[in-house]
Every structure is written in C-alpha cells, then in structure tokens.
Amino acid sequence: MTREQLINQIQLKKSYLCVGLDTDFDKIPKHLQSHPDAIFEFNKQIIDATKDLCVAYKINTAFYEVLGAQGWDIMERTVNYIPKEHFTIADAKRGDIGNTSTQYAKAFFETLQFDSITVAPYMGEDSVRPFLEFDDKWAIVLGLTSNSGSSDFEQQKISEEYLYEKVLKTVSGWGTPDNLMFVIGATKATGFTEIRKIIPHHFLLVPGVGFQGGSLQEVSKYGLNKDCGLLVNASRAIIYASEKEDFAVEARAVAWQYQYEMAGYLALL
C-alpha cells in the first residue's frame, strides 16, 4: 500500500484506528473454543465487525507462531481475509544480518503479503535495509516503546540526546516517509512534540492506548501532522470487549468510540 492510498483511507473513514488481532485462544469467548477453527473464526467476526471503522489491522505474530504450522496457516488466512483497502502490519519485530533480514522480508511481504513489518534497529542499517527494498511495502522501526523496560536503553542519554532520538534521526535517513514508519508508545505522549521535530512527516504506529493507559486525546494533540501521520493501535480493548456471544457487537461498539473521537481530531487539521 502506498502512502497516498493510506491517507485516502484515513480521510474516507475519518479514522486512524488500527485493530490488533493479538488473538489468544485462552481469551476468546468460551462458546467459540469448541469451534474446529476457533481462532480464525474469531478473527473473521472481529474483522467483519470493525472493517468500516478502522484503516489497519496489526497481527502480533507471536500469538500464531506459538501454534506451529497451524498458527502460520491461521495467520496467512487471516491476512488474506482482511479487505485489501486496509493496511496490514506483521508485528514480528524482526532484524538480523542482511541476508537473514532479506528472507524475513520475503516471508512477510511476498509469502504472507503483509503491507508492513515491525523491525528492531539494534543491529544497524544493513539489518533494516532489506525491508526497505520492496515497492509499496513498509518497515515500521521501533523508536520509543510503551513498555517499562524502554528506560533500560531507549531513554538513556548518549551525550546530549536520548538513544531513541539517535535512532529516529539516523534511521529516518535510511528510507523516506513513503516506506518508513516508527513505533512510538502512547504512554510516552508528552514526548511526541519533540519527536515531531525530528520526524515531522513520518507515520507513527502508536500502541498503548486502552489497557496500557495511553490517552488518545494526548497522542492526537501532540502526534498528528497535516496528513494525519498516526496509526493508533488498540488490541485487547477491542477484541476482548466481551467474553460472551456478543463479542463482535461489543468490539464494534468500542471501535466506533475510537473512530468517533478520531473523526473529531481529524476535523481540526
């Protein structure tokens, strides 16, 4: 998906919502657990209930890899079921020496046909570069994450700048706003002002809204740019909104609340 196509979808739906399909068998409604294809059926119903309210879906691959070959099959069928106008994210956090990263890129961009993949930048440019060499595909590089352990490295200062600032400045030169995004956690919303000074035009994938306590209002206030520039992810708050047979209805209700709030912020641009 191109940047223009993504922006068009945001404008059309008045939404920058990304729904996280981090599907845990133990957390899906009990009535579905006896279904012969329980996880895929759950994903289908969530997608059907939310597809007009969001512009992206993020699949955390760990929840599928844990199931072995069956999990990979479910993940492939899920990404194929997502409507083509949606931006798809493989939340795999890959990153290795160049020839290995090339194989990861082919796996998620050609075999599974995701639009993007999350990438860890610790090993440097040659580990990220292979993900940037595919037309209309995106690398989403970890910048400032929402977990408490981000203080161990990301928020340590090197001379006069934080390590995450060094990452943003350096990595932004490896690609363009047309093929490169950054992960910035919603729980670090007050830092978005300084982050936007470093990368004013790039899209940011923002996890941490919902159960992790991030504020959509603050993220939008400090993170939006003229093209929107945000994909705000909500996973558990949406997909596990109900443990009963009405789970898809309740998921839609929560997604609508996010979309309605986002429409208001977009109207101010």
Set 93, 137, 221, 244: catalytic member: 93
Look up tokens 């922006």; give the residue. 7
Concerning whether 93 is annotated as a catalytic residue, the answer is: yes
Q: Are 120 and 94 in contact (CB under 8 A)?
A: yes
Catalytically active residues are 93
